[in-house]
Amino acid sequence: MTGPAVLAHGGHAAEGPGWLPLFPVVVLAGVYLLAAVRDQRGWDHRRTAAWLAGCALLAVAVGPLGQLSDDPRGHMAQHLLLGMLAPLGLVLGAPVTLLLRVSPPSVRRATGRLLRSRALHLLAHPVTAALLTTGGLALVLLTPLYARAEQQPALHHALHLHYLAAGYLFAWSLAGPDPAPRRPGLAVRIGALIGAAAGHSVLAKYLYAHAETLPPGLTDRDPEAFRSAAQLMYYGGDLAELLLAVALFATWYTRPRRSRPRPVRLIKTFASPKDDSVTRTS
Residue 282's pLDDT is 34
Closest to 171 measured CA to CA, from 194, 188, 193: 193
Residue 154's pLDDT is 86
Q: What is the pLDDT of residues 151-160, one digit of tens each?
A: 888 888 888 8
Q: What is the pLDDT of residues 159-195, one digit of tens each?
A: 888 989 999 999 999 999 998 878 899 999 999 999 9
What's the mean pLDDT in 259-268? 39
Amino acid identity at 50: A
Q: Where are the domains of the chain?
A: 3-257
Q: How far apart are CA 172 and CA 96, in angstroms?
A: 11
What's the mean pLDDT in 221-225? 89
End-to-end CA distance of the chain: 49
Q: Residue 25: pLDDT above 70?
A: yes
- Distance from CA of residue 120 to its chain's centroid? 15
Q: What share of the chain is helix, strand, coil (3-state, %, to 5)?
A: 65, 5, 30
Q: How far apart are CA 276 and CA 265, in angstroms?
A: 16
Q: Say which range, 94-108, 128-142, 258-272, has the weakest mean pLDDT.
A: 258-272
Residue 4's pLDDT is 39
Q: How far apart are CA 42 and CA 241, in angstroms?
A: 31
Residue 157's pLDDT is 83
What's the mean pLDDT in 98-117? 94
Residue 18's pLDDT is 60
Q: Please, how many CA atoms are within 13 Å of residue 268, restricted to the half-sphere of its CB?
A: 3
